[in-house]
Structures are given as C-alpha cells and as structure tokens.
Chains A and B, each alone.
Chain A
Amino acid sequence: MVKGTNMSTHSVTASSPGTEANRHTAGGSVGSLSDVAQEIERHLPDKLMDPIMETSLLNIYYGDFHAVHDVNLAFGRNEITALIGPSGCGKSTVLRSLNRMNDLVPGARVEGAVNYQGQNIYARGVDPIAVRTHVGMVFQKPNPFPKSIYDNVAYGPRVTGMKVDDMDDLVEGALRGAALWDEVKDKLKQSAYGLSGGQQQRLCIARTIATKPNVILMDEPCSALDPIATARVEDLMLQLTQDYTIVIVTHNMQQAARVSDRTAFFTARPDETTGNRTGLLVEYNLTKQLFSQPSDQRTEDYISGRFG
C-alpha cells in the first residue's frame, strides 16, 4: 500500500512520556495534554500553501435534491478544521464526501473535485475502499463492533490486509494514541460494549488510527458524550494533530473555538422555486479570525446566537 508523502512522520504516539511505548514514537514524543494545548498556539499561515486535501466547486445531490452548492475548501496538514452551521446546511454531507461515504447513500451524486494529495478521489478508477484507508472516519454515536476491544482495533488492519509485524504492538499503540490504553489494558479480550460512551468513542478513534490514515473525519464526535468525556476527546484531538489532519463537524461553537485551527461556516439557502434548502459555504477563515472578526453578517448572527 503506497501512502502519502508525510508517511515518514507518521506514527502512533504514546499519551505520556516515560512509558514503554517509546518504540512506537518514530515521529517524536508527545508531552502532557496541557503542553499539547499550548503547542497549538502556533503560528498558522493565513493562506494554506500546501493543503493535504481540498474541494473545488463541490456540488452534492441526493437524487433531485441539491444538498450542497459550490464548496471550495482546503484542509491544512496537521490542522483541525471545524465545519459549523445550522442543521441542514450540508456540513455533514460535505464531510462524508471527503472519504466517499456518500457512495453508500442510494441516489447520492457528487460533482466537482475532492483532491487528496493532488489526486481527485472522484476520478475514474479510484477505489473508494482505498480512499477510506487514507481518510478515516469517526461517527456521531460511538459504533464499536460487537467484538472484543482488541478485535475492534485490529479490525481495520486485518480487513485492509495491512502488513503488520506485531498486531499486539499495533493495538497497544493505537489504544495509547487514543488515550485509552491505561483504562482497557487489562480487559482487551472483553466486549467493547462494556465500555462507557466516552471510552467507546475513544475506542472508535483508536480503531481509526490503527489503519494509519492521514486524515480523520469526525462527525459530531462528542454529541453523544457528557462534558467530561467531551473534554477528553477534545484533548485527544489536539494531541492527534501531531500525526493527523482532522476535519470535524460540530454543532457546538465553543468546541470549534476550543479545538480548531480553521473554521468553515455553512448555511442553508432555500431554493426560490422548490423550497429545498441547499447548503453553501459562507465564510472560511482561521478560527480566531472567524470568531473575533467575522466578515459576513450571517456568520456574525450565527456565532453571536442570533439564529441557528
């Protein structure tokens, strides 16, 4: 399997220093969670020079229904990009188009391009299954498989035929990467359904990073979690930017403000003739910028709570 150019810096890192997991940390070790949070205060270029992924003139239809209109977005490497907006604005639809999960919806159709490392994933001959090994996904409701914790994590490498020297190592690394190892190391063979909701969601993240994707899509990953579990997952996201690019859909504007580097605000525009609501991108900027000085009135109305 040929991966992208940043494969060399790619690894599953341990959550705390001084553990035995140093053998996994090819790409540099990670400090404590607060260190990571501070590290995120890095300088980000206003303009993305080398995005890992970008959409151009992306239009998505479900049958006759025009769900998303002309979206141009670029996602920076090792950044977190948040997609926000009111319900029905097409942000989840855009997210699912980034790893061709929309293919599973009968009648879904995509126009325009989604370029991943310079290659259009909707080009003829592209295998959606191969795309998904590069662009993983975490869902709104934790959806672990009815298997043991270990088998949940090992599932992706097994089904994709990944060359694995030591599956135990890989599972441990992925669970450490998702900050779950210490909680589950003694019950790896137990059913994943015995875990709490927050643990299940981190297991789903571990499961995703076990396949070593470059991009992780998260569709409202915390909406089914309590505030404490949410905080843990947010910490984890910041930590994951060491190795991954994250695109997150969230209804929670504070969450977008807390974790993301860039934010895209979507809204829905009713069609004059049919009344169908088509989603469009209103504003895309550095998160700080977007929340402090929105350039569009609709953005300002939304983030100040006047609608949505």
Chain B
Amino acid sequence: MTTTTTTPAGPPSPAGLRGDPVDLSGRSRPGEAVIRGVLFAAALVSVLTTVGIVIALLRPAVEFFRDVPVWEFLGGTRWAPNDSGNPDFGVWPLVSATLVITVVALVVAIPLGLGAAMYLSEYASPEMRRRLKPIVELLAGVPSVVYGFFALTFVTPNLLQKVLHIDVGFTNALAAGLVLGVMIIPTIASLSEDALFAVPLSLRQGSFAMGANRMQTTLRVVLPAAMSGVAAAVILGLSRAVGETMIVALAAGSRPHLSLDPREGMQAMTGYIASTAGGENPVGSTSYNTLFAVGLLLFVITLIINVISIALVRRYRQEY
C-alpha cells in the first residue's frame, strides 16, 4: 500500500498503480463526427460537380449524335449549324482555330515564361527574386475579359497594324493568341520557377566546379533536373489556353473558318460555345445540342492533355 491510498483526504490515486483498475474507455466526441462529415461533404461537392457536368454534357450530346453521325461531326470541314437550308456540322474549323490560337499562345508563353523562370531562379539576387516573383504572379489576376479588350482595342490596331504592319482584320487569331500567351506566362513562369529553384544547390556547384558558366549550368543541368516540373507547368498553361473563352470570343472573331493562317479571323471551340449559349436556339433542337457536342469534345481534349501531363511528369521525374 502506498501512502496516497492510505491518506483519507489525499488526492485520488493516479491511474496505473499496481492493482488499481485502469479506465481506458473512450469518451464520445460528437464534434469529431460533425467535422468529419463537413469535410467529406466538401470533398464530395467537387466530385459530384464533375459527375454532374459529364452527365449534363453527355445527354444532349448523345441526342445530337442521333441526328448527326459522329464521323460527320469529327470529319467534316464546314461548320454551319444555323444554316437552315444546308446545315453542316463538321467541327474542324472550330478545332483548327483553337489549335492555331493555342500554338501562337505557346510560342509566346514558353520562351517568355521559361526565360522569366530561369532569370528569377538562377540569375536574380534573392532580394530581386523576392520582389519580382509576386509581380509576375500578379499578371494571373487580371480578368480575362480585360485581356480580351486589350487584344481587340490595342494589340490588333496598334501593335499589329500600325507598328508591325501585318495585314490583319478587326478580329484575328494572332492578336488573340498573343494576348492569351501573355495571360498564361505567369502560370508557366511561376510553376517552372518553383521547379528550377527546387533543384539542389549541389548540382549547380558540381557544374560550376567543372568550369561551366551560368548559362550552361542553367540549360544543361538545372533545366533537365527540373524537367518534370517544367513540363507540368507548360501543360497546365496549355490547358488554360485551350479552355480560355473570353479572349478568343472577343478578339478572334465569330466566323467559323477552316484555316491555319493566324492573320485571319476564326471561331474557336470556346468562342462558339460562348456566342451560341446566348439562348437563340430552342432547347432540344439540333443546333442547341451542338453546344454540348462541342463542349464534350473540349472536355475530352483537355482530359487527354491532362493525362499526357501526368505521364510526362512521371516519365521525367528525377530523384536528385
């Protein structure tokens, strides 16, 4: 017997003394269950939304493909869903416009974005990096409608027509692509910079010790080591470019037109959806259902890009 148990007015004996019963039963914690439920619901909302989108896209799209054969949609080269005399549902003009605009955007965004990333990560002083990086990221906060007007009212008339003397129309894929490229620079620059900066200093030291200069070290050692992150950054920028709507709807035009010449006006997939979703078409009509067919195709394309991105990230993953 210990003194604590023999003293009548003493404190209760601590649990765990030999012979004392130990109570390990749990108290009920209803708060935990509630929090768990709330968090689960939060996760569920995004999953259900995705499922809902797929269903909402699929049903009218299936109806559309009852009227228009899939091969005519995917193989046709004339897009005229509202031509009452002779409607055509060949999606290629929309796809090619998206392609041209995206390529122009990437031609702008990859060199500038990667250049900015390399400067910030490898050349800038820590002080400079600390100040410049948030400014680069600020570009991502500009609403895309502002970019669209910038393309329409500044880039086309001033930069393209007056300064560069390029023969472009009021709406053209070039202006849309250029501005779209500027819009995705922060995405590519910021994410690539993270990847470059994460490359261990020891690799750079190893390169410098071999007599390499800074550019060689950056291009031949740091960039390959960060390739998985850089590839992910570029693909994310690409997805944003393909899905961007406001800029292309405003600046690229609304005339479906099969062409690979960026100086011409053309209608991209997102541009078509934006301009047709205005409500002119009766619900259930074939021309209404085109919206969902194009939307589904866009969804599939973005999905494929994302799958490629994941595969690339795995392929180039380096354990340095």
- Residues of chain A touching chain B, judged by Cβ–Cβ distance below 8 Å, are 99, 101, 104, 106, 129-130, 132-133, 136-137, 139, 141, 143-147, 155-156, 159-160, 193, 204, 207-208, 211
Contacts and interface: CB of A to CB of B under 8 A. Distances in A.
A160 B320 CA distance: 24
Max chain A C-beta neighbours (<10 A), residue from B211, B221, B225, B320 = B211
Q: What's the dominant secondary structure at chain B's contact region?
A: helix
A159 B210 contact: yes
A146 B202 contact: no
B131 to A, nearest CB: 16
Contact of A132 (B211, B220, B318): B211
B208 interface: yes
Contacts of B212: 129, 155-156, 159-160
B78 to A, nearest CB: 49
Given A139-B205, A155-B220, A159-B216, A146 B211 contact: no
A160 B210 contact: yes
Contacts of B318: 146, 193
B86 interface: no
B211 A145 contact: no
B206 A211 contact: no
Interface of B: 125-126, 200, 202-213, 216, 220-221, 224-225, 318-320
B210 A132 contact: yes
A139 B210 CA distance: 12
A136 B220 contact: no
Contacts of A147: 224
B225 A145 contact: yes
A293 B210 CA distance: 38
Contacts of A129: 211-213
Contacts of A99: 209
A211 B202 contact: no
Nearest to B202: A143
Contacts of B213: 129, 159
Nearest to B318: A146
A148 to B, nearest CB: 11
A146 B210 contact: no
